[in-house]
């Protein structure tokens, strides 16, 4: 009886010992990195590293599953690094590196696991099997873990190639596609737990599978997985902020588009009994677009500030910039209609689906068809 009246306790009192342990691990890791590599960082990079401590800690407190993910990725990555013994050649010899946790092996495992997760979610959806869908979630978590390990190890490998070649792996289309898969999957898993519905996994994992397909084609056909040194324009601490923020946006918009598909299917009676209620789909779709819009706004602003430093102007109407604006305008209009007009229903779902095409063009199409200042990720 008293429970209903309990006031929400202050944040710090709600934290468990594990929350504090997690924060301590984050801080220890960052401070160790700062003491060991601080001499190679400029003031901005140090600031980013220090700001990461509270950001990651609070994020872990807010979304509890992030804590084991972070620690797990950290441990596996450190193990992989220890296996290298400072020698790139070990990639081909050491068993764990060769088959499991060298960057390329880990990313390929991520691809495979996302594929399996997609199958599991679909089997669960069609057979109404909670167990299969749970398997889908577990496989997705495994894929995310290996994907992050892949990026972390890739980061390390890039420094083994050459001290001047090393850089954070968010610098080309291959790397950001991996990041896209990870962010989209993490966002989906957040909503899955929050709304306690696993039925949407089948749809969301489709867009991740498409990205995985692209990664595989890009690897096998174009050898895009090769680590290349940075062009001078990308050598900036801004990259560490601009690119991830952008991909939170792209990931969220893709997620919302797949939810839009789910909404339209359920509305027409297709899979309706298997999918969650329309209000739930609609609500997650709105939430995804809201978070995507907020981060896309930040990413575009950060991009403008970077452009002011690299290209001599915060806005040059470069095709990528212009398409970012178009994406932004698109979702701004979406939010206006929803928030101000209070409109719901299939129209907004359609719009979210079309939004995916606009977003995809901004993300990929611009690199494929238009040339401009952003030509780092050419196909």
Partner 1 sequence: MNTAPHSFGKSLFELMSSMRFAISLLSILAVASIIGTVLKQAEPYGNYLIQLGPFWFEVFEKLGLYDVYHAVWFLLILTFLVASTSVCIFRNAPNFVREMKSFREHVSEQSLNAFKHKHEAVTQLAPTALAASAQRYLEGQGYKVRNLAREDGVLLAAKAGSWNRLGYLLAHSAIVLICIGGLLDGNMVFKVQQLLGYKKIETRDIPQSQVPAISRLGPSNPSFRGSVQIPEGSSADVVFLNVADGYLVQDLPFTVGLKQFRIEHYTTGQPKSFESDIELFDKSGKKIKEATIAVNHPLVYDGVAIYQASFADGGTRMSLRGWNLFAPTASSFPVEGVVQQSTALTSGAGEYTLEFTDFRPFNIENMGGDIAPAGDAMAVLGSSPVSNNKHLRNVGPSVQFKLRDARGQAREFSNYMLPLELNGRWYMMTGVRESPNESFRYMRMPLDVEGNIESFMRLRGALLNAELRPQIAARFARQALPQNAWGTEIEDKLTFSATQMLALFAEGGFQSLGRFIEEKVPAAERDKAAGTYLRIIELAAFEALQIANSQAGLPPPPADEATGWLVRDSLNSISDMFVYGAPIYLQLMQYDEVKASGLQLTRSPGQNVVYFGSLLLTLGVFFMLYVRERRVWLRIKPGSALLAMSSAKQSIDFEKEFAQHAQALDTLVK
Of 5-24, binders to partner 1 (CB under 8 A) are 5, 7-8
Choices 87-95, 127-135, 202-210, 255-263; region in contact with partner 1 by CB under 8 A: 87-95
Which residue from 71, 165, 193, 210 is in contact with partner 1, where contact means CB under 8 A? 165
Choices 27-35, 137-145, 298-306, 345-353; region in contact with partner 1 by CB under 8 A: 298-306
**Interaction of residue 254 with partner 1, rule CB under 8 A:** no
Nearer to partner 1, 134 or 344 (CB): 344
CA neighbor of 224 nearest in space, from 367, 362, 357, 321: 367
**Interaction of residue 189 with partner 1, rule CB under 8 A:** no
Closest approach of partner 1 to the CB of residue 31, in Å: 27
**Interaction of residue 39 with partner 1, rule CB under 8 A:** no
Nearer to partner 1, 69 or 101 (CB): 101
**Interaction of residue 336 with partner 1, rule CB under 8 A:** yes
In whole angstroms, what is the distance from residue 201 CA to residue 122 CA? 8
Which residue from 77, 83, 104, 246 is in contact with partner 1, where contact means CB under 8 A? 104
Nearer to partner 1, 10 or 269 (CB): 10
How close are the terminal C-alpha atoms of the chain, in Å? 62
Calculate the alpha carbon distances from 254 to 42, 181, 225, 250, 356 in Å: 35, 10, 23, 6, 6
Backbone phi, then psi, for 184, in 5-degree steps? -60, -45
Q: At what angle do helices 238-267 and 201-222 cross, to 10 degrees?
A: 130
Nearer to partner 1, 77 or 330 (CB): 330
How many C-beta atoms lie closer than 10 Å to residue 344's C-beta?
Answer: 17
Closest approach of partner 1 to the CB of residue 284, in Å: 9
The pair of structure tokens assigned to 178 is 């991996």
**Interaction of residue 311 with partner 1, rule CB under 8 A:** yes
Closest approach of partner 1 to the CB of residue 351, in Å: 11
**Interaction of residue 370 with partner 1, rule CB under 8 A:** yes
Nearer to partner 1, 30 or 94 (CB): 94
Closest approach of partner 1 to the CB of residue 166, in Å: 12
**Interaction of residue 317 with partner 1, rule CB under 8 A:** yes
Can you point out the beta strands (E) in 68-217? Answer: none
In whole angstroms, what is the distance from residue 30 CA to residue 12 CA? 22
CA neighbor of 285 nearest in space, from 272, 274, 276: 276
In whole angstroms, what is the distance from residue 178 CA to residue 211 CA? 8
In whole angstroms, what is the distance from residue 207 CA to residue 114 CA? 11
Tokens 């609500």: give the residue.
283
**Interaction of residue 162 with partner 1, rule CB under 8 A:** yes
Residue 130, Cα to own-chain centre: how many angstroms? 26
Site map 261..290 versus partner 1, x via CB under 8 A: ------------------xx--x--x---x
In whole angstroms, what is the distance from residue 96 CA to residue 100 CA? 5
**Interaction of residue 335 with partner 1, rule CB under 8 A:** yes
Which residue from 118, 171, 219, 367 is in contact with partner 1, where contact means CB under 8 A? 219
**Interaction of residue 51 with partner 1, rule CB under 8 A:** no
**Interaction of residue 347 with partner 1, rule CB under 8 A:** no
Choices 122-130, 158-166, 182-190, 252-260; region in contact with partner 1 by CB under 8 A: 158-166
Which residue from 84, 190, 263, 323 is in contact with partner 1, where contact means CB under 8 A? 323
Torsion of CA 30, 61, 103, 363, to 10 degrees: -110
Which residue from 72, 236, 267, 353 is in contact with partner 1, where contact means CB under 8 A? 236
Tokens 């869908």: give the residue.
133
Q: Is 289 helix (H, G, I), strand (E, B) or coil?
A: helix
Which residues, at least 6 apart from 219, have a Cβ–Cβ distance to it below 8 Å? 104, 108, 174, 225
């Amino acid at each position: 009886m008293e429970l209903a009246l309990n006031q929400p306790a202050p944040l710090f009192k709600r934290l468990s010992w594990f929350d504090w342990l997690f924060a301590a691990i984050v801080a220890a890791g960052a401070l160790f990195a700062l003491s060991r590599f601080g001499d190679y960082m400029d003031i901005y990079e140090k600031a980013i590293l220090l700001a990461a401590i509270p950001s990651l800690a609070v994020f872990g407190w807010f979304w509890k599953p992030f804590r084991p993910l972070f620690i797990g990725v950290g441990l596996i990555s450190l193990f992989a690094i220890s296996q290298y013994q400072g020698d790139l050649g070990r990639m081909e010899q050491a068993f764990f590196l060769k088959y499991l946790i060298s960057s390329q092996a880990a990313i390929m495992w991520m691809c495979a696991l996302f594929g399996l997760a997609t199958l599991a979610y679909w089997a669960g959806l069609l057979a109404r099997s909670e167990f299969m869908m749970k398997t889908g979630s577990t496989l997705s978590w495994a894929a995310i873990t290996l994907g992050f390990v892949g990026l972390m190890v890739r980061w390390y490998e890039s420094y083994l190639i050459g001290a001047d070649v090393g850089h954070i792996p968010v610098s080309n289309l291959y790397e950001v596609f991996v990041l896209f898969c990870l962010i989209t999957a993490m966002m989906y898993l957040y909503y899955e737990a929050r709304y306690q519905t696993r039925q949407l996994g089948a749809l969301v994992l489709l867009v991740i599978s498409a990205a995985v397909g692209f990664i595989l084609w890009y690897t096998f056909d174009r050898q895009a997985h090769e680590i290349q040194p940075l062009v001078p324009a990308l050598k900036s601490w801004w990259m560490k902020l601009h690119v991830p923020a952008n991909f939170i946006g792209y990931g969220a918009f893709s997620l919302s588009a797949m939810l839009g598909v789910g909404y339209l299917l359920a509305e027409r009676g297709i899979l309706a009994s298997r999918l969650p209620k329309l209000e739930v789909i609609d609500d997650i779709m709105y939430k995804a677009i809201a978070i995507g819009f907020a981060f896309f706004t930040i990413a575009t602003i950060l991009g403008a500030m970077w452009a002011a430093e690299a290209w001599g102007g915060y806005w040059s109407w470069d095709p990528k910039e212009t398409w970012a604006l178009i994406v932004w305008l698109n979702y701004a209009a979406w939010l206006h209609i929803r928030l101000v007009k209070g409109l719901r229903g299939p129209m907004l779902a359609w719009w979210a689906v079309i939004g995916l095409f606009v977003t995809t063009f901004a993300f990929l199409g611009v690199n494929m068809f238009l040339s401009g200042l952003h030509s780092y990720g050419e196909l």
